[in-house]
């Protein structure tokens, strides 16, 4: 767990390793997506989106929680065929809207 201090005092959140473990569980078995809880706040389910070039099998992956608005970004990864990949030729605003990607806090450590 990581501690951040702001005006309201200390806030704790799951570290990147915890988020990566959750992402690996979803990638290894896509059916886990609907039953996987957020490593930060325990809300179910977490959300994923993949963005990459048309026809590619690799792209960027996003994993986040709509409840606490924390998550991670992976810049290059293989995307399982069970998941739809949003094309990088799509304008950024349309990508965010199409996948309902909120402005979540990315965990880098």
Give the Cα separation of 80 and 74 in Å (integer). Answer: 14
| pTM reported for the whole predicted model | 0.85
Question: Tokens 């200390």 map to which residue?
Answer: 10
Say which residue the tokens 């309902």 belong to: 100
User: Domain spans of the chain?
Assistant: 2-106
Q: Which residues pair with 105 in a beta bridge?
A: 70
How many CA atoms are closer than 13 Å to the CA of 87, on its beta-carbon side?
5
Q: What is the pLDDT of residues 19-53, one digit of tens each?
A: 999 999 999 999 999 999 999 999 999 999 999 99
């Amino acid at each position: 767990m990581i501690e951040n201090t702001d005006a309201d005092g200390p806030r704790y959140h799951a570290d990147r390793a915890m988020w990566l473990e959750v992402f690996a569980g979803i990638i290894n078995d896509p059916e886990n997506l609907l039953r996987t809880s957020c490593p930060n706040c325990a809300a179910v389910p977490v959300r994923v989106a993949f963005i990459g070039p048309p026809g590619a099998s690799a792209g960027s992956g996003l994993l986040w929680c709509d409840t606490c608005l924390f998550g991670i970004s992976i810049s290059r990864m293989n995307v399982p065929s069970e998941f739809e990949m949003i094309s990088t030729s799509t304008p950024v605003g349309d990508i965010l809207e199409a996948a309902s990607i909120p402005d979540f806090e990315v965990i880098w450590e």
